[in-house]
């Protein structure tokens, strides 16, 4: 279907707004998509012309990042001598472009500073305001992102990127009814935008409709390629497909998607990290270690470090796990200016490895006060389970399952809570569900799920 110029512009704008939030989607679910599960396979996207075009653009991608760095230096000098709002806005855009490609949290903070300065000089600029809202979203200031985006959209209902940030923030804050209305409005105004397809894919996954999530993710990738996306932006859409497949135990399919993403953008850490996780599920542990090491060399992200440590433990090298495990805490401690970015990752890391549990409970509880989505309740439930507060964990786990999300970790946590409460039948059902969704959802915890299920008299 051909798009009119207005529709095409809306698609590009909304797609751009999504790209700014790419890092956040990778961070918010430490080991899963925080949204997928398969009942029917989507149409396979081979799209050789898209992949070939992306491969042809790899040199351009590398040159583009170098050019971004050059422009950043130039514009930092310009604003130092000429504090012009348009130049601060452009500098903020450059910081965001670097951040979404490299995963550098500090670049988001720099973007917030530059865009904040632009708005001081030109308070009603919707472009600077929307980019600032996106930067807040990426650093997990969801309430701030929502407030700013709503102000922009109230002043000008044509600002679809602001509407996209509104829906994203509502979803992360756990206001699912409001997010549903926002996404429906967004879809009606930008029906051909890959960024909208990706949002709807995640929405479908959260609500247990994996077949639709797969279809929409495939459509998002195809449309992104058709509309000229390349490099890390196009690769992200491929990783979306990989995440959904991986979280449903379709390991070989996930490996294929992630390898495609790596071909599109070899220097994109999300693709490398996702490939490591897919290879782990597929039993290719040495290859997974190599992939995670590549990702960590790009961005020492706590999820990658924890996964690498787990791989060393699983392959009989526990001494080698000490360094990546220790680095998880170092990275988290260095993010004082953006403490919420890694809060759930740190809480889950401690709960998964049964260490510093009291702190994990505090972190998870604090996070819930400002971000009451299902993954917040799941993190809280797992930490409460680890400290023996089983009745409270039951309530939190029930809230985590409220949308019917087919995520093995949610069901595993629920099953362990049920077992601790002596509800054998429910525990067996929940653990069976977790293992049927993704038999290898976690290197260290999936065996615990099987052992617990066997102790209850269920098939392991």
Residue 193 clears pLDDT 50, i.e. is over it = yes
Q: List, as own/partner pairs, every contact residues 119-128 make where C-beta atoms lie below 8 angstroms and the sequence separation is at least 24, other chains included.
A: 119/85, 121/83, 121/84, 121/85, 121/88, 122/85, 122/86, 124/155, 125/85, 125/89, 126/152, 126/155, 126/156, 126/159, 126/162, 127/89, 128/85, 128/88, 128/89, 128/92
Q: Is 333 exposed, middle or buried, given 0-12, 13-18 or 19+ CB atoms closer than 10 A?
A: exposed
Tens-digit pLDDT profile for residues 432-448: 999 999 999 999 999 99
Range in 185-189, 272-276, 328-332 with the lowest mean pLDDT:
328-332
Burial 169-195 (b: 16+ CB within 10 A, else e): bbbbbbbbebbeebbeebbebbebbbb
Pairwise CA distance, residues 364 & 367, whole Å: 5
Q: What is the 3-state secondary structure (H, E, C) of 4-28?
A: CHHHHHHHHHHHHHHHHCHHHHHHH
Pairwise CA distance, residues 92 & 106, whole Å: 12
DSSP state of 307: H
User: What single string gives the DSSP state of each residue in 231-259?
Assistant: HHHHHHHHHHHHHHHHHTT-HHHHHHHHH
Tens-digit pLDDT profile for residues 40-52: 222 222 222 333 3
Pairwise CA distance, residues 128 & 110, whole Å: 14
Contact 271, 258 (CB under 8 A): yes
Q: Which pLDDT value is given to residue 330?
A: 85
Residue 362 clears pLDDT 60, i.e. is over it = yes
Pairwise CA distance, residues 252 & 357, whole Å: 35
Residue 78 clears pLDDT 60, i.e. is over it = yes
Contact 253, 243 (CB under 8 A): no
Pairwise CA distance, residues 98 & 248, whole Å: 32
What is the overall mean pLDDT for the chain? 86
Residue 59 clears pLDDT 60, i.e. is over it = no
Tens-digit pLDDT profile for residues 379-424: 999 999 999 999 999 999 999 999 999 999 999 999 999 999 999 9
Comparing 253 with 232, the larger pLDDT belongs to 253
Reference 173, options 367, 15, 363; nearest CA is: 367
Residue 165 clears pLDDT 50, i.e. is over it = yes
């Amino acid at each position: 279907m051909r798009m009119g110029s207005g529709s095409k512009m809306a698609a590009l704008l909304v797609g751009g707004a999504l790209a700014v939030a790419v890092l956040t989607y990778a961070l918010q679910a430490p080991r899963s998509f925080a949204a997928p599960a398969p009942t029917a396979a989507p149409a396979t996207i081979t799209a050789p012309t898209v992949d070939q075009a992306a491969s042809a653009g790899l040199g351009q991608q590398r040159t583009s990042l170098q050019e971004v760095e050059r422009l950043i230096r130039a514009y930092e000098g310009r604003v130092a001598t000429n504090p012009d709002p348009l130049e601060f806005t452009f500098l903020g855009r450059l910081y965001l472009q670097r951040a979404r490609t490299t995963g550098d949290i500090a670049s988001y903070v720099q973007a917030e500073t530059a865009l904040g300065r632009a708005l001081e000089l030109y308070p009603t600029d919707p472009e600077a305001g929307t980019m600032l809202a996106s930067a807040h979203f990426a650093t997990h200031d969801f309430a701030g992102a929502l407030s700013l985006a709503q102000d922009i959209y109230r002043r000008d209902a044509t600002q679809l990127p602001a509407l996209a940030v509104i829906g994203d923030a509502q979803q992360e804050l756990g206001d699912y009814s409001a997010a549903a209305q926002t996404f429906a409005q967004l879809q009606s105004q930008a029906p051909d935008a890959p960024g909208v397809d990706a949002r709807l894919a995640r929405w479908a996954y959260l609500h247990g409709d994996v077949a639709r999530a797969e279809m929409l993710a495939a459509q998002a990738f195809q449309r992104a390629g058709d509309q000229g996306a390349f490099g890390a932006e196009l690769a992200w859409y491929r990783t979306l497909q990989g995440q959904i497949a991986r979280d449903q135990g379709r390991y070989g399919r996930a490996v294929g998607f992630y390898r495609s993403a790596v071909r599109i953008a070899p220097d994109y850490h999300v693709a490398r990290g996702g490939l490591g996780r897919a290879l782990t599920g597929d039993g290719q542990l040495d290859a997974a270690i190599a992939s995670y090491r590549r990702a960590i060399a790009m961005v020492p992200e706590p999820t990658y470090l924890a996964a690498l440590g787990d791989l060393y433990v699983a392959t009989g090298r526990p001494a080698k796990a000490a360094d990546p495990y220790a680095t998880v805490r170092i990275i988290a401690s260095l993010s004082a200016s953006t403490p919420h970015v890694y809060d759930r990752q740190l809480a889950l890391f401690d709960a998964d490895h049964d260490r510093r549990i009291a702190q994990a409970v505090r972190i998870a509880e604090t996070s819930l006060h400002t971000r009451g989505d299902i993954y917040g309740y799941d993190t809280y439930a797992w930490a409460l389970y680890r400290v023996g507060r089983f009745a409270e964990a039951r309530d939190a786990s029930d809230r985590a399952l409220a949308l019917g999300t087919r995520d093995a970790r949610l069901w595993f946590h629920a099953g362990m809570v049920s077992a601790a409460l002596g509800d054998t039948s429910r525990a067996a059902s929940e653990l069976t569900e977790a293992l049927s969704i993704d038999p290898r959802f976690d290197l260290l915890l999936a065996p615990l799920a099987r052992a617990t299920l066997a102790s209850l008299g269920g098939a392991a």
